[in-house]
Amino acid sequence: MSDEIKPEDIKKGLAGVVVDYTAVSKVNPETNSLLYRGYPVQELAATQPFEAVAYLLWNGELPTAEQLAELRKVERENRPLADNVKAVIDLLPTDAHPMDEVRTAVSAIGANDTSGAKSVMEAGGTAEDNLARSIRLYAALPAIVAYGQRRRRGEEVVEPRDDLDYAANFLWMTFGEEADPLVVDAFNRSMILYAEHSFNASTFTARVVTSTMSDLYSAITAAIGALKGPLHGGANEAVLHVFDEIGSAENVKPWLDKALAEKRKIMGFGHRVYKRGDSRVPTMKDALDSLVEHYDRQDVLELYTALESEFVERKGIYPNLDYPSGPAYNLIGFDTLTFTPLFVASRVTGWSAHVLEQAASNALIRPLSAYNGPDERHIEGYVATETEKEALERPEESA
Ligand SMILES: CC(=O)SCCNC(=O)CCNC(=O)[C@H](O)C(C)(C)COP(=O)(O)OP(=O)(O)OC[C@H]1O[C@@H](n2cnc3c(N)ncnc32)[C@H](O)[C@@H]1OP(=O)(O)O
Ligand SMILES: O=C([O-])CC(=O)C(=O)O
């Protein structure tokens, strides 16, 4: 097989390969647009609560008032951190990376769910069951992420508030105080922008796991592992490390000279699909601008703008969503280590929508490889058994 494969046939990183249909979202680099179930993401971010966008991703339509109220009811019921999930988190060292903590907590929630079959497709793993599991997981993640940050700061759990919607309650559980509406709005927008992005690495991971008829929790746990890397979701954390290294706008040029001379990747810039800028950046940048004004932190904007213009001028590579999100989350008060778990809390909606879609029209995902290891060789003195010899001689059509 490897003899027949030419180097140009190998699609390293699956770049440019179309592997399936999806009705969940459309990323269009030509028009620089992103549609969730047909709706431009900017319009959703400006007009919808995150709960309505989660509903849209799962069900294909925006909810009616009654449907939204029902989702909010279930979301509220599933907000509190379960005792045994808290106990699992508490067993982990406080300096564990929060993405490891979140991955472990989701895995524990999966083990807690003993409700019938766990496969996404076999009896008991119906689409309805898996949608219900998806909603419970999305509802449970804010408490896990919030507790992670509080635990590292030596603080206790803050119980959820039933009078607050998803975004406001998330901030309440993290900081133990009610956030300003402007901050809630910026945070809500970020959750919507992060929710879904077609066949990105973590979503594809979730689909690969689903394709083996494994369960929803295994798919999401694996996706969290894929998101952690700095070439993907881990970049929002990495952007803040870059900002901390640079310090202030006047240090940008010398910092960039050195970083590029060392051939470093500048986190928060570049994208596999978008080559002329990420469709989500202008909307998130507007949210960042509002936070800069609210917290009176022009210095953040100066550094942001200086690094962006210098890097774009030198390399022609534009910011991705992680670039404005990192400083926005920092201004809101999240620890840098909490940034990628926030991405998880949002993306769990897109991941689970893809798990449901993959399960509904499944094909095992199993690509081929071209072998470039040593030529065939043998263990001295080994004699094949009769059964092995028979198999080797089996005519091709009986395969
Ligand atoms: C929400 C998200 O997950 S968005 C992505 C978040 N990730 C980051 O911000 C990490 C930094 N960015 C990157 O590493 C890349 O741009 C990726 C991984 C996102 C996309 O990468 P790919 O499509 O595989 O492009 P690739 O990495 O091959 O880059 C093409 C060229 O641009 C350069 N390049 C791309 N991004 C960057 C960057 N951020 N800094 C420096 N150079 C870059 C590469 O070095 C490469 O140059 P070369 O052709 O001279 O070798
Ligand atoms: O699409 C990608 O490759 C990465 C990305 O922007 C996302 O997952 O939001």
Give the mean model confidence (pLDDT) for residues 111-138.
79
Q: Ligand 2, atom 3: nearest CA belongs to which residue?
A: 200
247 and 312: one domain? yes
**Mutation choice for ligand 2 from 24, 191, 196, 200, CB with most ligand atoms inside 8 A:** 200
Question: For all residues of the chain together, what is the average pLDDT?
Answer: 95
Give the mean model confidence (pLDDT) for residues 36-62.
98
143 and 243: one domain? no
Residue 108, pLDDT score: 96
Taking the C-alpha atoms of residue 133 and residue 321, their distance in angstroms, rounded to an integer, is: 28
66 and 47: one domain? yes
167 and 315: one domain? no
Taking the C-alpha atoms of residue 267 and residue 85, their distance in angstroms, rounded to an integer, is: 33
Is 241 an active-site residue?
no
Lowest model confidence (mean pLDDT) among 64-68, 212-216, 244-248:
212-216
161 and 244: one domain? no
97 and 186: one domain? yes
Residue 123, pLDDT score: 46
Q: What is the pLDDT of residues 310-364, one digit of tens each?
A: 999 999 999 999 999 999 999 999 999 999 999 999 999 999 999 999 999 999 9
Q: What is the pLDDT of residues 63-79, one digit of tens each?
A: 999 999 999 999 999 99
Ligand 2 shell residues, CB under 6 Å: 197, 200, 271-273, 320-321
Residue 3, pLDDT score: 58
107 and 166: one domain? yes
Residue 126, pLDDT score: 84
Taking the C-alpha atoms of residue 291 and residue 185, their distance in angstroms, rounded to an integer, is: 10
| Residues of the chain above pLDDT 70, percent | 96
* Nearest partner of 165 among 82, 86, 53, 84, judged by Cα: 53
Residue 124, pLDDT score: 46
Question: Is the pLDDT score of 398 beyond 60?
Answer: no
Is residue 315, in this structure, part of any structural domain at all? yes
pLDDT confidence band for 393 (50 / 70 / 90): confident
Q: Which long-range contacts (CB under 8 A, 24 or more apart) does 79-82 make?
A: 79/139, 79/140, 79/142, 79/143, 79/160, 79/169, 79/173, 80/143, 80/159, 80/160, 81/140, 81/143, 81/144, 81/147, 81/157, 82/109, 82/112, 82/140
Is 322 an active-site residue?
yes
CATH number at 248 reads 1.10.230.10
Using the mean position of ligand 2's atoms as its centre, give its distance from the Cα of residue 200 in Å. Answer: 5
Residue 392, pLDDT score: 86
- How high is the ipTM of this complex? 0.98
Distance in Å from the first CA to the final CA of the chain: 16
CATH number at 133 reads 1.10.580.10
Catalytic residue among 129, 185, 278, 322: 322
Residue 120, pLDDT score: 61
323 and 207: one domain? no
Give the mean model confidence (pLDDT) for residues 178-204.
98
**Mutation choice for ligand 1 from 265, 315, 343, CB with most ligand atoms inside 8 A:** 265
Strands 25-28 and 33-36: antiparallel
Catalytic residue among 271, 278, 335, 354: 271
The pTM score is: 0.96
> What is the domain count for the chain?
2
Question: Is the pLDDT score of 1 beyond 60?
Answer: no
| Residues of the chain above pLDDT 90, percent | 90
Give the mean model confidence (pLDDT) for residues 248-256.
97
Ligand 1 shell residues, CB under 6 Å: 13, 230-233, 235, 265-272, 317, 320-322
Question: Is the pLDDT score of 117 beyond 70?
Answer: no
Is residue 162, in this structure, part of any structural domain at all? yes
Question: Which atom belonging to ligand 1 lies closest to the Cα atom of 260?
Answer: 41
Q: In the structure encoding, which two tokens stand for residue 339, read together? A: 């940034």
Lowest model confidence (mean pLDDT) among 4-13, 243-252, 368-377:
4-13
Residue 21, pLDDT score: 98
Is residue 378, in this structure, part of any structural domain at all? no
Using the mean position of ligand 2's atoms as its centre, give its distance from the Cα of residue 197 in Å. Answer: 5
**The domain containing residue 54 runs over which residues?**
9-228+337-360
